[in-house]
Homo-oligomer: A and B are copies of this chain.
Amino acid sequence: MATQAKQGNAKTEPGRQSLKSAATRARLIDATIRCLVQHGYANTVTPMVAAEAGLSRGAMLHHFASGDALIRATIVELHERRLKAFRRASQAHVGDVRAMVRDYWQQLQKPGFIAFQELAMAARTDAALAEILLPLQAELTQKFQALAGQLYPDWVQEPERLRLAMALSQILMEGIQIASLTGAMDKSLIEPLLDFLEMSVIALRPGQGTGMTMKTEQ
C-alpha cells in the first residue's frame, strides 16, 4: 500500500512527474511522525497531520483512503528506518561494543523512536495496530539476533549469554529513554548507566567467567 505502483509503463520506469505523488505521501508520513512526537498518538488527528504537511484534508484522504491507512504506512516507514539504521550501525563498528552502544543510543534520540514508542503503547490496547506492529517487532528481534551472531562468531558458542547481552542492551537503553521522556528518571544518571551497560556487555562476552569481571579492556 505504501509503494503502490503508479501505472508502471514498460517503457520509462521512472514514474515521470507523478513521482510527485510519492513525494506528497512521504511528506504526509513525515508529518505524521512529527505529530506523533509532538502531540502523541491519541492527539494525532487527521486535520492536524494535513496542516502539518501543508495540505488540505481532502488531499490527504486522496493519498491515504483513511487515517488508519496513513498510520499503517507510517509504521512501515518507521520499521524500515529502524532496520536500515540497525544494519548500518552494526556493520560500521564490528566488535566495538562501546561504539555500538553509543550508536544505538543515538538512534533512540531521533524522533523515530518516540513515534514508534507511541505506536507501541497504543498497540497494547488497539488490536488493529497490534496486528501490524507485533509481526514487525518480532522480525526486528530476529534480525537483531541473527546479525549479532554473525558479527560475533565466537559468541555463538554461548547463545544464552549472547541473547542476554542483546536483550540487556536493548531493554536498558530503551528503558532509559522512556524514563527520561516521562520524567521518571534524573538525566544525570544516563551516562553512568550507559557506562555500566558497556561494562556489562563486555563482561558477558565469551571467556570472561560465569559472572562478571572488571576490565577496562577493548
Contact = CB atoms under 8 A, between A and B. Distances in A.
A138 B183 CA distance: 8
Contacts of A61: none
Interface residues of A, number: 54
Contact of A130 (B138, B168, B183): B183
18 contacts: A42-B122, A43-B125, A123-B182, A124-B181, A137-B183, A141-B184, A141-B185, A141-B186, A164-B193, A164-B196, A171-B179, A171-B185, A175-B175, A203-B211, A211-B212, A211-B213, A211-B215, A212-B214
Interface of A: 38-43, 117-118, 120-126, 130, 133-134, 137-138, 141, 160, 163-164, 167-168, 170-172, 174-176, 178-179, 181-186, 189, 192-193, 196, 199-200, 203, 209-215
